[in-house]
Amino acid sequence: MAKKGLSSGVAVIIAISAASLLMINGCVKGRPKADISKPAVYVGAEKCKECHERIYAGWKTTMHPYKFQDATPDAVVGDFQKNNTYTAGGYTTRMEKRGDEFSITTMGPDNKEHTYKIKYLIGSVWKQRYVTEFPNGALHILPVQWNVKTQEWVDYHGLKKHKPGDGKYWSDKTRTYQFKCTGCHNTGSEFQYDAATDTFTGTKWADKGVACEACHGPGSNHVVAEGEDLAKTIVNPAKIYDPARAAMVCGQCHTRGSSAEKLFGVQKTGYPFDYRPGGQLNFVYDEKPGLHPDGTSRKHHQQYIDWKKSGHAEAGVQCWDCHYTHRQGNSNRYQTKLPGSLLCKNCHIDIEQKGYHGIHSENNCIGCHMAPAAKSAVSGDIHSHSFRVMKPQETVRLGGKQPNACNLCHYHKKDRPEDLARVLDEIKKQAWGERNIIYP
């Protein structure tokens, strides 16, 4: 009897599980099939959370959700109370906090002093920039930036190098946040622009930061789809058959340049407004990177440009092979799956500690192959993603503006590139004789 009761209980559980699976996969007869024929629109990360709660919780621990935030006391990292002035071009900009509100007093488009209320924030880990709204609905990034590492204010398209009307001053019409930034700092951006009256209306986002649909595409059809239509109505970058096209999902924002066409026929954007995950980025975006003489990046958010030139790209190694996409990194802030050189050694397991790889007591893959040669807030706070060694020989050949991995290390900052190049040549000769070995 006991066995019979157990068998009946198991049968009930199996029946319930089977019925649940049928319902989940849209196999229950009589249920009308959702219409997924219309173009998908953005629904926001909160909608994704309803089914993907664990992934959502992990994503909230990354930096992506916080690329653009409301200006609240908890989110502001700049000093608006003590170290709260910055002087450039003979004028002193002032930063103030009153209650829970923040403002910056500086020179505006009419070359006169105005006080601007801060409405939104950009960033908080390397640096933080501050966004205000003009009466015509245009959003502008104010002309001072707070650098987190050095705890200081620096110029950002302000009076240090520019003046009102030169096209690059912070308040010029060519520098609105809507045209320059929103496609990469927000998800599902929308706005309208009337060139005749120079007015912006309807500025909004599905999510203020970089959220699910920035990488997976608009999800309105996916949230109502069932069965086999679930996979058809959303983009999973890791399942895109072409590695080059898959990498474009990250590359849409980790690049630098402008859209191939003008938005509204008015102005090219700083982001690829015509791109959707799974599409061809190169047809809708023109790269205009800031590079060192050897072709590696000197400016931030250009990792995709470096990666395309690397052996990793040729082999099909993707961003998410090294970086987590939905959670924090292990003992690091870069969302990498292992800290530092341990990540490299997870694949490059047969590197002999000889020649160049025997210089240090323990191989430092990152220090040589991912030199801190680019700048976000301060020089060297962004690593190269070309994965090739920037040698002192290149500095000798290309000139002083070309950095190299050896001189960027604190042990060798004062050594001459010529001397370091000779040391490397001697190490190579001792390890491999006179053979002409080309090392990446």
Give me the tens of pLDDT residue by residue for the chain, a chain 440 residues long: 343 443 444 444 444 444 444 444 444 344 567 889 999 999 999 999 999 999 999 999 999 999 999 999 999 999 999 999 999 999 999 999 999 999 999 999 999 999 999 999 999 999 999 999 999 999 999 999 999 999 999 999 999 999 999 999 999 999 999 999 999 999 999 999 999 999 999 999 999 999 999 999 999 999 999 999 999 999 999 999 999 999 999 999 999 999 999 999 999 999 999 999 999 999 999 999 999 999 999 999 999 999 999 999 999 999 999 999 999 998 888 999 999 889 999 999 888 777 778 787 666 899 999 999 999 999 999 999 999 999 999 999 999 999 999 999 877 888 999 999 998 888 888 876 655 544 44
- pLDDT score at 242: 95
- pLDDT score at 362: 65
Q: Do the domain assignments include residue 75?
A: yes
Q: Do the domain assignments include residue 253?
A: no
Q: Do the domain assignments include residue 20?
A: no
Query: Which residue, 212, 238, 269, sits at the end of a domain?
Result: 212
Residues 6+ apart with CB under 8 A from 71: 101, 102, 118, 119, 120, 121, 130, 131
Work out the angle at residue 256's Cα, subtended by the Cα atoms of residues 252 and 260, and round it to the nearest 5 degrees: 70
Helix (H/G/I), strand (E/B), else coil: 238: helix
- pLDDT score at 338: 94
Both 193 and 310 in one domain: the answer is no
Q: Please state the pTM of the whole predicted model.
A: 0.89
Q: Do the domain assignments include residue 245?
A: no
Q: For residue 294, which of 381, 374, 413, 414 has the smallest C-alpha distance?
A: 374
What is the domain range of residue 176?
65-212
User: Taking a C-beta distance cutoff of 8 angstroms, is the pair 263, 195 a contact?
Assistant: no
Count each helix (H run) and each strand (E run) in the chain, helices first.
16, 18
What does the alpha-carbon distance between residue 370 and residue 364 come to, in Å, rounded to a whole number?
10
Burial class (CB in 10 A: 0-12, 13-18, 19+), 15: exposed
Measure CA of the first residue to CA of the last residue in the chain; give whole Å. 73
* 59: enclosing H helix or E strand: helix 53-59
Query: Which residue, 195, 212, 229, sits at the end of a domain?
Result: 212
Q: Do the domain assignments include residue 90?
A: yes
Residues in the chain: 440
Q: Do the domain assignments include residue 385?
A: yes
Q: Do the domain assignments include residue 239?
A: no
Burial class (CB in 10 A: 0-12, 13-18, 19+), 289: middle
Residue 325 DSSP class: S
- pLDDT score at 198: 97
Range 125-129 contact pairs with CB under 8 angstroms and sequence separation of 24 or more:
125/63, 125/333, 126/300, 126/376, 126/377, 126/381, 127/376, 127/377, 128/76, 128/77, 128/78, 129/156
Task: Enumerate the H helices of 132-242 as residue ranges.
Answer: 177-180, 182-185, 212-216, 229-232
Q: Do the domain assignments include residue 43?
A: no
What does the alpha-carbon distance between residue 135 and residue 199 come to, in Å, rounded to a whole number?
9
Q: For residue 60, which of 69, 267, 33 has the smallest C-alpha distance?
A: 69
Both 204 and 339 in one domain: the answer is no
- pLDDT score at 13: 42
Phi first, then psi, for residue 433 (nearest 5°) are 70, -145
The number of folded domains in the chain is 2
Both 79 and 206 in one domain: the answer is yes
Q: Which two tokens stand for residue 183?
A: 């496609």
Both 69 and 203 in one domain: the answer is yes
Both 207 and 324 in one domain: the answer is no
Both 206 and 69 in one domain: the answer is yes
Residues facing residue 92 across a β-bridge: 87
Query: Which residue, 165, 196, 212, sits at the end of a domain?
Result: 212
Q: For residue 304, which of 247, 257, 366 has the smallest C-alpha distance?
A: 247
Both 196 and 315 in one domain: the answer is no
